[in-house]
Copies of this chain bind each other. A is one copy, B any other.
Amino acid sequence: MNKYPHSTRILVALDCIVFGFDGEELKLLLIKRNFEPEQGKWSLMGGFLEEEEDLEVATNRILYDLTGLKDIYFEEIKTFGKVNRDPVERTLSICFFALINIHAHNQDSAKAQNAYWVDLKNRPNLIFDHNQMVDLALEELRYKAALHPIGFELLPEQFTIPQLQKLYEAIYDSPLDRRNFSRKILSTNLLIDTGEKNQNSTTKKAILYKLDKEKYQSKFNAFHYFISDSMR
């Protein structure tokens, strides 16, 4: 097997923006680096693509190491490739974002990576071009969530419509009309009434829904217009 003789091999990293939702605010799972380079500073979770490892496998490995979860929803955003973006050595970064249920991930995995949930709005400064990556990820999340039902990935198995609304309000940092939102969501037919009601409520208890996984799969690529253009 002949190799390509005249070309340069380059380090390839994967960096992931992990979003979570605590019921009130959008959160990021960030690393307080206890290793070099840039020890002590904050960064995204990342890792290098290994010798005999498919790119997809590497992505799942990195997400698993951080969260202890498999089959996480993620989406590739962009490859960052400025020559000097990493001062140690030239490194490409294939950047993606992931959405997880903040209560489902393994705390020990996060602890092992020295990872902490941080409010998106009050996030610390990050190393290298990681700030730009987060900005872009938020943009992409907003774009995608306006049209496709990816928001559910951030919620627990069962959730109420008011919870879902709070999530969308957090994503777009804008208030939404309760009545119109509810109608829009229900009209997608993606929700199944579980018959149960939210217990931890101090006033009227809201209906608990779960996602209709089959319809979610089959209608995922349809447009839903959850959020109007003016809102984004």
- Interface residues of chain A, those whose CB is within 8 Å of chain B, are 1-4, 7-12, 37, 48-56, 58, 76, 78-83, 87-92, 94, 146, 222-223, 229, 232
Contacts and interface: CB of A to CB of B under 8 A. Distances in A.
B81 A79 contact: no
A189 to B, nearest CB: 14
Contact of A11 (B7, B37, B51, B78): B7
A54 B79 contact: no
Contacts of A54: 81-83
A82 B59 CA distance: 12
A92 B55 contact: yes
Given A1-B89, A12-B12, A78 B76 contact: yes
Nearest to A93: B55
Nearest to A79: B94
A167 to B, nearest CB: 21
